[in-house]
């Protein structure tokens, strides 16, 4: 690839490519990501649509919160079981609504660790008025509010604060 063809002006996502320079030598050049520059909006759209569709299923009690986060994080059952340290049999059960209701808190804490959310978020969706169909993570460029969730020494307790962005 020629150096001039490789250049992409996109500062938020830089990467290093090996290119053919004008003098015929090969070497590295730092450039922007073509994909991030041209297609990132589509990625965000897809993720948002996926979240909304999963949230709808969650509200209708069709899927469990574990299944919701599993799909968002793109884990399969084996990977989730291995990461959480919960048996495959139990994971399969917890993906279903009935099984989730019988899950132990200790298992839910393990899932929450893997999904990188407070355990309380397996039982709630934090959103703002007018955005009822969107999850906290799915609010793009929300400038007015900021939600801050802090863990405590108690693994089942999280402090959720709504802050106004200044």
What's the token pair of residue 9?
């002006």
Binding span for another protein by CB under 8 A among 24-32, 95-103, 127-135, 157-165: 24-32
d(Cα 145, Cα 111) in Å, to the nearest integer?
27
Contact call for residue 15 and another protein (CB under 8 A): yes
Which residue, among 119, 130, 111, has the nearest Cα to 157 in the 3D structure?
119
Q: Least distance (Å) from another protein to the CB of residue 49?
A: 6
- The binder of another protein chosen from 3, 7, 13, 158 (CB under 8 A): 13
Three-class SS state of 162 = strand
Binding span for another protein by CB under 8 A among 33-41, 55-63, 92-100, 126-134: 33-41
- The binder of another protein chosen from 46, 92, 98, 131 (CB under 8 A): 46
d(Cα 140, Cα 48) in Å, to the nearest integer?
9
Would you say 26 or 89 has its CB closer to another protein?
26
- The binder of another protein chosen from 9, 61, 62, 85 (CB under 8 A): 85
d(Cα 126, Cα 136) in Å, to the nearest integer?
5
């Amino acid at each position: 690839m020629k150096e001039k063809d490789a250049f992409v002006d996109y500062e938020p996502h830089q990467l290093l490519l090996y290119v053919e320079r004008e003098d015929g030598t090969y070497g590295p050049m730092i450039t922007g990501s073509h994909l991030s520059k041209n297609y990132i909006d589509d990625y965000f759209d897809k993720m948002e649509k996926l979240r909304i569709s999963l949230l709808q299923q969650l509200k209708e009690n069709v899927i469990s919160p574990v299944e919701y986060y599993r799909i968002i994080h793109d884990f399969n059952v084996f990977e989730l079981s291995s990461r959480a340290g919960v048996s495959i049999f139990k994971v399969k059960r917890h993906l279903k609504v009935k099984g989730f209701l019988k899950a132990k808190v200790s298992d839910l804490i393990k899932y929450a660790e893997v999904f990188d959310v407070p355990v309380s978020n397996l039982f709630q969706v934090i959103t703002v008025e007018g955005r009822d169909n969107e999850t906290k993570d799915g609010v793009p460029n929300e400038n007015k509010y900021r939600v801050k969730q802090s863990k405590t020494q108690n693994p089942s307790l999280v402090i959720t604060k709504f802050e106004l962005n200044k």
